[in-house]
């Protein structure tokens, strides 16, 4: 009897896993990024239905699959309507709320959000802010993250403030990943395999398999990270 239950769980679990994976991909990346309340509720609900579909032997799989598909359709529809209507987006996701203005805590806004002063101060300390006088504005975003604008005299000095000219940064193009040459990126970077091998030899690297990662920027400098032994100098595997 127990063998039949295990077998049935496996038979139901494998297709439902791939169905859930497909449905999650249909929803998009919102479920794995910072979620608003609606995303959280949908994620928990879908997770519960997936578990029931696999474990519950009394309910037919068809009903669970139908419910999963329905919830996915609702999520996609709500996401679409949120992009089209500010009013609808405000209802579903809420709106950012200012909690500090010119160093003064807006206690009524905190009460509306049901956030205590201790929680607000903790969020400020997480951003290395220990004095309210350093804050020009603080805004609680839709996802619960606190965005802070420091007062002008508390901001760090930048190269622009010092009238210094610096070269702009450029994104690295992946050339080698885990010992494999990314051939599609060679042409984009204006190099070829012979050039890569020449650069590797300059750093006493005889084969691609010795390289964990290598990338190149617009300055044509190949930045290389060699593969390490199983235990590093920090004692971590």
- Which of the four pLDDT bands, split at 50, 70 and 90, describes residue 33? very low
* Amino acid 225: pLDDT: 83
Enumerate the H helices of 57-190 as residue ranges: 61-84, 86-93, 107-113, 117-126, 184-189
Percent pLDDT > 90 in the chain is 12
Locus of tokens 């994104």:
171
Q: 41-75 pLDDT, tens per residue?
A: 677 777 777 777 666 666 666 777 777 777 778 77
Averaged pLDDT, 196-210: 91
Q: Are 46 and 39 in contact (CB under 8 A)?
A: no
What is the DSSP code (8-state) at residue 12? H
Averaged pLDDT, 138-166: 79
Exposure on the CB side of residue 10, measured as CA atoms within 13 A: 6
Best CA proximity match to 19, nearest among 55, 75, 64: 64
Summary mean pLDDT of the chain: 77
Q: Are 138 and 102 in contact (CB under 8 A)?
A: no
Interacting residues of 31 by C-beta distance below 8 A, sequence separation 6+:
24, 39, 42, 43
């Amino acid at each position: 009897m127990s063998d039949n239950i295990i077998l049935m769980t496996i038979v139901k679990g494998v297709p439902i896993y791939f169905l859930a994976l497909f449905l999650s991909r249909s929803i998009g990346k919102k479920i794995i990024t910072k979620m608003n309340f609606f995303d959280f509720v949908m994620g928990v609900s879908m997770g519960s239905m997936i578990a029931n579909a696999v474990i519950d032997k009394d309910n037919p799989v068809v009903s669970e699959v139908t419910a999963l598909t329905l919830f996915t359709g609702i999520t996609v529809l709500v996401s679409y309507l949120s992009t089209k209507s500010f009013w609808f987006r405000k209802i579903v996701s809420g709106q950012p709320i200012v909690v500090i203005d010119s160093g003064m805590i807006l206690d009524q806004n905190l009460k509306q959000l049901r956030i205590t002063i201790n929680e607000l101060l903790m969020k400020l300390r997480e951003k290395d802010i220990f004095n309210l006088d350093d804050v020009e504005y603080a805004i609680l975003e839709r996802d619960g993250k606190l965005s802070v604008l420091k007062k002008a005299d508390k901001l760090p000095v930048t190269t622009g403030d010092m009238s210094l000219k610096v070269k702009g940064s450029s994104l690295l193009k992946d050339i080698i990943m885990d010992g494999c040459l990314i051939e599609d990126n060679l042409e984009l970077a204006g190099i070829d395999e012979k050039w890569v091998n020449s650069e590797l030899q300059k750093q006493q690297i005889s084969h691609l398999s010795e390289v964990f990662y290598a990338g190149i920027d617009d300055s044509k400098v190949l930045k290389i990270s060699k593969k390490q032994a199983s235990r590093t100098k920090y004692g971590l595997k």
